[in-house]
Amino acid sequence: MTTTGTWLPEDASAVACLTFDVDAETGILSANAKAADHAMAISHQQFGPEIGVPRILDILANLDVHATFFFPGWVAERRPALVEKIAAAGHEIGHHSYSHVPASSMTREQEERDFTRALKVFEDIGVPIYGHRAGLWEASWSTPAIVAEHGLTYDSSLMTQDSPYRITTEAGSITELPPHWSLDDWEQYAFLPFPEIGQHIKNPSDVLQMWTAEVDAMRRFGGLFMLTNHPFLSGRPARAVALEALIGHILDTGDVPILTGYELATHLAEVALPERAHEKPCIEDGLFPTP
């Protein structure tokens, strides 16, 4: 039965999803293949799966919450034991492209190939896949249709709302669980001289304060607190401690359930959500500059 009205579970004032994008080496290789020549840069990215993920898993276990770990297929293929370990701890594994190259820079055929290549990796490992997140959130105008076509139930790349909505495509509809830059650790902590992925080393206490305020504001507006963290960034000590405090704050509210993307999408299957088309705007010739 489809219900109308709020999308929120009973007695909830907002919902939180904790998501971790395990980009590892693809976080820089997708920007520039020459990054493979830079030992320091590669080691910086390897910190994520090697140290960041186990540290974050311990924090989640201690707080008894579950999260969604989005893996590029390239990373999962090289670390199947890590994927299995995360899944065995009760967390969800999500599809984060194969190469992490932005879908917006690919043709539909290239994107389809990249998408199915990752699906095959997850299938070989034996983990079920329900959700997708485009590399760098750079979905194309074809992405939701590809997600629907392959039977996944949700995507988490687009930002038309700050609560879940439905995207209709020629291959069926999917649920969109929108992220936002303000809830991403990349804009707070990403620093690397080459390839230049950011120049940020913010104070984790300030980040905690900002995200805590966002949780509270989400409770006022009934929003989805979609946290996007990267183990190579948020796995560093003071940042991990701030993450732990943030999760503690969410739990203390008593009315913001922490759900995996799959759990939320499953709940939403019975809810009438706003339906939005996903179409490139028509641009009148000559109206806007085309450099």
Q: Binding residues for Zn ion, per CB under 5 A?
A: 21, 23
Q: Report the 10 Å Cβ neighbour count for 175.
A: 25
In whole angstroms, the minimum distance from the beta carbon of 22 to Zn ion comes to 8
Strand pairing category for 198-199 and 191-192? antiparallel
Minimum distance from residue 287 beta carbon to Zn ion (Å): 34
Considering the complex, state which of residue 184 and residue 273 has its C-beta at the smaller distance from Zn ion: 184
Q: Which of 8, 3, 14 is nearest to 251 (CA)?
A: 14
Query: How far apart are CB 68 and Zn ion at their closest, in Å?
Result: 13
Query: Based on CB atoms, which residue is closest to Zn ion, 12 or 101?
Result: 101
Tokens, residue 265: 């999408």
- Using Cβ positions, the residue closest to Zn ion within the complex turns out to be 21
Give yes or no for a cis peptide into 195 (omega within 30° of 0).
yes
21 or 263: whose CB is closer to Zn ion?
Answer: 21
State which H helix or E strand residue 157 sits in.
Answer: none
Q: Which is nearer to Zn ion, 179 or 257 (by Cβ)? A: 179
| Contact (CB, 8 A) for 56 and 231 | yes
Copy the structure tokens of residue 128: 């079920």
